[in-house]
Structure 1
Amino acid sequence: MFGFGKNDKAQDPVCGMKVDKKTEFSSENDGAKYYFCSENCKDQFNANPKDYMKENATKTKSCC
């Protein structure tokens, strides 16, 4: 049976959704790559990435 391996998925830092790392929506910040469920989440992250870094994130925000 085929499926996604553990390393094929990432968590969108904006909305918390699990996304495929092959998504067209990704961004790099401070040497780390982030993956997003949509262009909207990517744009929100890029506008203020520090708000979505793990150490600063206090709760999951919705993108939709």
Structure 2
Amino acid sequence: MAVGGARAAGQAVQVEVSDEGSAVSRPRVRRGGDACSGRGLWLVERLADAWGYREHPRGRVVWFEL
């Protein structure tokens, strides 16, 4: 289950999505058009000014700034 939120961060908007049950390892960006997962991160990588992830007690949180 993914849960998200957004807040103003200076001149940017920071969005966070927690993915409960996901591995804490670095999320992988899938670049192939036929990938079954990771395509959202491909879009984030292309559109966001910055992005990253952090550990969460039940999985990981991916954040990005626009």
Range class of TM-score, shorter chain: under 0.3
More strand as a share of residues:
2
Structure of higher RCO (CA pairs closer than 8 Å, 6+ residues apart): 2
More helix as a share of residues:
1
